Chain A
Amino acid sequence: MSGVVSVRGVDKVFGTGRERTEALRRIDLEIPQGAFVSLIGPSGCGKSTLLRLIGDLTQPSVGTIEVNGKTAHRARLDRDYGMVFQSPVLFDWRTVQRNVELPLEMTALGRTQRAARAAAMLALVELGGFERRYPWQLSGGMQQRVAIARALSFEPALILMDEPFGALDEMTRERLNLELLRIWKQTGTTIVFVTHSIPEAVFLSTQVAVMSARPGRILEVISVDLPQPRNDLTREDARYFGFITRVRERLRGHDVAPPRAAEVAASG
């Protein structure tokens, strides 16, 4: 099966001379259709940069990136992906519905079609009935769901999410995790998800790409073959904890000096 995203031999360097920072080194990553891939690594490892590279918001220094068999640039112009950031970035002068419609306003879609699509996406994130509210009238979790509905409005083949739940409380975060999985199943979209939470990465993903500290490299892509659909019981599954430990050890192996035996026992 051909990948939705195919990253080959990508380096990313910012600045020159003394300011030169090597953000990413020799990144190879294939993301198959319908996958849920998390990028995880220590802060500053370039996981957000990799996401931005896939979305053509920045360009690689070396290497190629293909999305849907096209260059990332072409894919962006074809509006092949939706983007969600840590903060919802909603426009406070637009109602919820008009926020979700915004991407569609760049297309040839008519007003009624836009409204219908927005209503469908808001129903998908369980915000039906909130169309006429303004973003500031909603809670943080609801705002982030509006941002997800907006990212879905193109019905994109690929969704790029940069720590979308990082600013939310634990309970809201767990609920939105479940919702995101439901939406992922329902739409059949492919998701690339940046997070710094190991449990979140394991719970959501079909694959977890573990990255090293700067210059960021992909140390290992761990396939998380926990049964689907995942639910609250998944979080109590012994294998779930097994994967968490595996990701954690992989991260630790490269991040810091090997821990002492006592620490391993305590954190196991």
Chain B
Amino acid sequence: MFRAARGVLSFAAVIAALGVLWEGIKLLGGDPNGAWTPPFQWTVASDLNMPHVWDIATSFVEPAQRNGPPLGLVLGDAALFTFREAFGGFVFGALLGLALAIVFVHSRLLERALVPYVVASQTVPIIAIAPVVVIWLQGGWLAVAVISAYLTFFPVTIAGLRGLRSPDPRALELMRSYAASPRSVLFKVRLPAAAPYLLAALKVAATASVVGAIIGELPSGIREGLGGAILNFNQYYVSGPPKLWAAIIVAAIVGIGFFVLVRAAEAFLMRGRVPAAET
């Protein structure tokens, strides 16, 4: 509990430091603010490019559109929507990634045949894949989840394969001496041994799934999520710069929240094991 509090505190300290840095830059090279005229004039630090921290903060409570609900609520709904897509993609991707790892650990032939394509899949930019998936699946929630899964399965496969191979060879001999079935070996030795590897990969996958979902929304014409919001506020940036920044912050919060969720699951699943270094 104490350690958790310290974590939150240091996180808040970093956020505060970033805010101070941001305003410091504006103080040195931003637009004139009241009586203060900054010594430099940097385009990047103008109110248009770097809106004031307090302007971003207040934008959350101001209406997103004339007479509409406040931006915070709009972004909250969008965040939930995107999180659902990301979660779907995360689950798809994790299951696919784990299934591939389990197949590969049992068949050297399939591993040799397929792993190059698994690796190649990650060198194709998601921006190029996304429209194709949208056409195949005719847009919608499922298409976004699939695009998100495309980003998440890879770390799970690679880490899973490594983890499933991690047991001591003598542990496998022991199981052989018990005349254990391949199923028992998988569930009683390989998967538990792979758990720390898998959970590390799932933390990567959690944040990647949010990125995948946001990118997936762009070509699928979905306006309800954070991707739609970012696209929208980007288009009308000049009329309200803080809104895009607010959307970016919310997207980051979704990613961090998902990461924290997986970490909590990790803490629960790894209780009792050798206390390892925290990540």
B-contacting residues of A (Cβ < 8 Å)?
Answer: 55, 57, 76-79, 81-83, 85, 87, 89, 91-93, 95, 102-103, 105-106, 134, 136, 154
**Complex-state Cα separation, A50 to B116, whole angstroms:** 41
Query: Which residues of chain A are near B272, meaning CB under 8 Å?
Result: 93, 95, 134
Kindly specify which of B13-21, B32-40, B74-82, B166-174 makes contact with the partner chain: B166-174
Q: Are A91 and B192 in contact (CB under 8 A)?
A: yes
Expressed in whole angstroms, the minimum distance between the Cβ of A52 and any Cβ of chain B is 8
Q: Are A134 and B174 in contact (CB under 8 A)?
A: no
Query: Which residues of chain B are near A81, meaning CB under 8 Å?
Result: 177
Expressed in whole angstroms, the minimum distance between the Cβ of B151 and any Cβ of chain A is 29
Q: Closest chain B residue to A82 by CB distance?
A: B177
8 nearest A-B pairs in the assembled complex, by CB-CB distance: A83-B177, A103-B178, A136-B274, A106-B178, A77-B179, A89-B170, A93-B192, A85-B170
**Complex-state Cα separation, A92 to B270, whole angstroms:** 10
Main secondary structure, interface of A, reads loop
Is B107 an interface position by the 8 A CB rule? no
With beta carbons under 8 angstroms apart, the residue of A78, A87, A106 that contacts B180 is A106
Expressed in whole angstroms, the minimum distance between the Cβ of B239 and any Cβ of chain A is 56
With beta carbons under 8 angstroms apart, the residue of B171, B180, B188 that contacts A89 is B171
Report if A55-B178 is in contact (Cβ < 8 Å); known contacts: A92-B274, A134-B273: no
Interface residues of B in 158-186 (CB under 8 A from A): 168, 170-171, 173-174, 176-181, 184
Q: Are B179 and A83 in contact (CB under 8 A)?
A: no
Q: Are A105 and B170 in contact (CB under 8 A)?
A: no
Q: Are B173 and A57 in contact (CB under 8 A)?
A: yes
Q: Are B179 and A76 in contact (CB under 8 A)?
A: yes
Q: Are A76 and B170 in contact (CB under 8 A)?
A: no
Q: Are A106 and B179 in contact (CB under 8 A)?
A: yes
Is B142 an interface position by the 8 A CB rule? no
With beta carbons under 8 angstroms apart, the residue of A89, A92, A105 that contacts B174 is A89
A-contacting residues of B (Cβ < 8 Å)?
Answer: 168, 170-171, 173-174, 176-181, 184, 188-189, 192-193, 195, 272-274
**Complex-state Cα separation, A103 to B178, whole angstroms:** 6
Expressed in whole angstroms, the minimum distance between the Cβ of B75 and any Cβ of chain A is 41
Q: Are A87 and B170 in contact (CB under 8 A)?
A: yes
**Complex-state Cα separation, A248 to B178, whole angstroms:** 36
Q: Are A57 and B273 in contact (CB under 8 A)?
A: no
**Complex-state Cα separation, A95 to B171, whole angstroms:** 16
Q: Are B171 and A93 in contact (CB under 8 A)?
A: no
Expressed in whole angstroms, the minimum distance between the Cβ of A191 and any Cβ of chain B is 15
Expressed in whole angstroms, the minimum distance between the Cβ of A143 and any Cβ of chain B is 13
**Complex-state Cα separation, A93 to B163, whole angstroms:** 14
**Complex-state Cα separation, A102 to B177, whole angstroms:** 12
Expressed in whole angstroms, the minimum distance between the Cβ of B98 and any Cβ of chain A is 18
Q: Are B184 and A105 in contact (CB under 8 A)?
A: yes
Q: Are A89 and B168 in contact (CB under 8 A)?
A: yes
Q: Are A102 and B274 in contact (CB under 8 A)?
A: no
**Complex-state Cα separation, A87 to B184, whole angstroms:** 22
**Complex-state Cα separation, A76 to B178, whole angstroms:** 7
Expressed in whole angstroms, the minimum distance between the Cβ of A210 and any Cβ of chain B is 26
**Complex-state Cα separation, A89 to B177, whole angstroms:** 13
Q: Are A83 and B174 in contact (CB under 8 A)?
A: yes
Query: Which residues of chain A are near B170, meaning CB under 8 Å?
Result: 85, 87, 89
Query: Which residues of chain B are near A83, meaning CB under 8 Å?
Result: 173-174, 177
**Complex-state Cα separation, A78 to B181, whole angstroms:** 13
Expressed in whole angstroms, the minimum distance between the Cβ of A47 and any Cβ of chain B is 16
Q: Are A79 and B192 in contact (CB under 8 A)?
A: no
Q: Closest chain B residue to A153 by CB distance?
A: B178
Q: Closest chain B residue to A73 by CB distance?
A: B179
Q: Are B173 and A102 in contact (CB under 8 A)?
A: no
**Could you show 14 A-B contacts with beta carbons less than 8 Å apart?**
A55-B177, A57-B176, A83-B174, A87-B168, A91-B189, A91-B192, A91-B193, A102-B178, A102-B188, A106-B178, A106-B179, A106-B181, A134-B273, A134-B274
